[in-house]
Chain A
């Protein structure tokens, strides 16, 4: 069961990494650079969109670059 769970996690790696790390990273980078966000968007939502724009192609292609 542990093995199956690890395998599943590994297959979803880019999406999990996008949510778990890239989303808060992008949000905190936007905040620290004082980037003005459109439509009153929160930094976290903007971070999520940036992270997904990177993570979804990575999930589909199996590589980040």
Chain B
């Protein structure tokens, strides 16, 4: 179907075509996400004896742990959207397992990520209701600086924005479990540090947590929604050409497809994007950069 044909269709008809394309990509079991999620966790765990026994230096462990922390968010993200298995299904336990273990290197509680991420989808770019709106910034350098500021104790975004969201939603259960998760994380770091393993703990968990949070805020929150001033379905998220490419940007170049159809597995979003692009253009979506 040519672009000219599409321009004659109503938004409803375009949405129907879009849904038909999306349906082709939904429902495939995301084997790679499951393997990567569990693999990242096991790989990260393996770094501890490797670094503690001086088989690899702490700096190499830091690089590997940071990569694991960043990559681990993606399988967890699939689990947040129940892409691995829906509630009540036979493999639901696997969805929950992947969700929980893949963000351990990032020290991010899965339940917190799931609840706040859903709010992000429901209220994308809303200054009060989108928990990720704190990552908005005027340009790439400001986005990095804002991401650093967000992880400060009194930061506007990050965990403070997530706490506000959970309070607004009345999810005290998640608020308390997330707070306990954070306390347990700090106590583990303290115990490692006071038993003579502070450098290893910093290299394998503390620094990867911070670098990972900043990287994820930049590529998952800031870049796909910049300038974050529109809230309409086809306007709040964009496709973009990342300086680090699609792999370096964690596949976020095609994030618009994820926002329109969150049940499409992450690895199928590029294919779905190229199939949908003429329809998205006709809908007035922000797809001009890619």
Contacts and interface: CB of A to CB of B under 8 A. Distances in A.
Assign chain B's interface to a size class. Answer: 20 to 34
Interface residues of A, number: 24
**Interface SS of B by simple majority:** helix
Contacts of A61: 154
Contacts of B190: 20-21
A21 B148 CA distance: 20
Nearest to B159: A10
B183 interface: yes
Contacts, number: 58
Interface of B: 148-149, 152-155, 176, 179-180, 183, 186, 189-190, 193-194, 196, 198-199, 201-202, 206
B183 A28 contact: no
A61 B155 CA distance: 11
A64 B153 CA distance: 8
Given A28-B199, A63-B152, A9 B183 contact: yes
Contacts of B154: 61-63
Given A20-B186, A21-B193, 4 more contacts: A9-B183, A25-B201, A62-B154, A64-B152
A10 B202 CA distance: 20
